Amino acid sequence: MTDWSEQTQQARNWFEELRNRICAEFESIEREAGSDAAFEYTDWQREEEGNTDPGGGTRAVMKGKVFEKVGVNVSTVRGNFAPEFAGTINGASADNPGFSATGISLVAHMANPHVPAVHMNTRFLTTQSAWFGGGADLNPPIPYAEDTEQFHARFRAACSAHNPTYYDRFKKWADEYFFIPHRGVHRGVGGIFYDHLECPDTAGFERNLAFTRDVGEAFLDIFPKLVRRRMAAEFTPQDKQAQLEWRGRYAEFNLVYDRGTLFGLKTGGNIDAILMSLPPEAVWS
């Protein structure tokens, strides 16, 4: 089994740098809207019996004028999966339950229903295998074809720079993953989703980290443009109501189906960080 601790640190450094740049950019947007909202950072420690260094993370949350609620969590954890959970994870088993994971996870719920909500997450995991995963998807309560196209185009460009098959595969994966079976609807207008992007060796790690960095860069490039485009748009009480109902669907997806939520709950993650993705307010009619 390769020792991936150096690579895990390298991935973690990138996730923290990306978090810092995203938070600075989102705070700039709040300034432009005349708000002095800022992220509040809270460290949390993971606990695992018999594990003296189980890791933890930092939850950053801002409640602003443009960003009704945005959370960015960076965590780096290590230890052993619970035996019954280990068998469900790539490269792990009840006999080999050891793992490490570092990642960034972001969900933004916007005040203005014309501005799309968004999710972005990238991560590096090691068990007996080592791999990257991640993705980003756009969740407009009121969809605009222009926004959807530009969001996809930017991720298509990021994917194509690394592998000609990535965009088609990862877009399709997002369409399949971000789907609410009991409603028979997609939770948003898609994006990309990838997992088990295996690192056979350190060169493979470098390649996959470079791609994962470009996914983060693509997000940081395109999402603020979409926010600035619509953050001052007028909206009606009916628009806001539609947004709140739409957020009910979003909460259903995250609580019933989302793998990241399950992973967090099963590995003793911080409950506030795991459920940070839930909307600030939702309605069910």
Q: Which residues are catalytic?
A: 119
189 contributes a contact to its own copies by CB under 8 A: no
Pick from 42, 146, 232, 284: which binds its own copies (CB under 8 A)? 284
- Rounded-to-integer distance, Cα 159 and Cα 153, Å: 10
Q: Which lies closer to its own copies via its Cβ, residue 164 or residue 237?
A: 237
Run of H or E including 225: helix 202-230
CB of 240 to its own copies, least distance (A): 12
- Rounded-to-integer distance, Cα 109 and Cα 249, Å: 13
Q: Which residues 6+ apart lie within 8 Å of 187 measured at CB?
A: 137, 139, 178, 179, 180, 249, 250, 253
113 contributes a contact to its own copies by CB under 8 A: no
Contact between 32 and 228 under an 8 Å Cβ cutoff? The reply is yes
- The CB-side HSE value for 77 (13 A sphere, CA atoms) comes to 24
DSSP designation for 263: H
- The CB-side HSE value for 90 (13 A sphere, CA atoms) comes to 16
Site for its own copies in 216-275 (CB under 8 A): 244, 248, 251-252, 255-256, 265, 271, 274-275
161 contributes a contact to its own copies by CB under 8 A: no
157 contributes a contact to its own copies by CB under 8 A: no
CB of 253 to its own copies, least distance (A): 9
The contact mask relative to its own copies for 52-71 (x = CB under 8 A, - = no) is -----------------x--
280 contributes a contact to its own copies by CB under 8 A: yes
Number of neighbouring beta carbons within 10 Å of residue 218: 23
CB of 282 to its own copies, least distance (A): 6
Three-class SS of 66-103: CEEEEEEEEEEEEEECCHHHHCCCCCCCCCCCEEEEEE
CB of 110 to its own copies, least distance (A): 15
Q: Which lies closer to its own copies via its Cβ, residue 38 or residue 262?
A: 262
Opening angle at CA 178, ends 177 and 184, nearest 5: 100
CB of 278 to its own copies, least distance (A): 4
Q: Which lies closer to its own copies via its Cβ, residue 54 or residue 224?
A: 54
Pick from 50, 95, 182, 203: which binds its own copies (CB under 8 A)? 182
- Rounded-to-integer distance, Cα 185 and Cα 279, Å: 19
Give residues in contact with its own copies (CB under 8 A). 69, 182-183, 244, 248, 251-252, 255-256, 265, 271, 274-275, 278-285
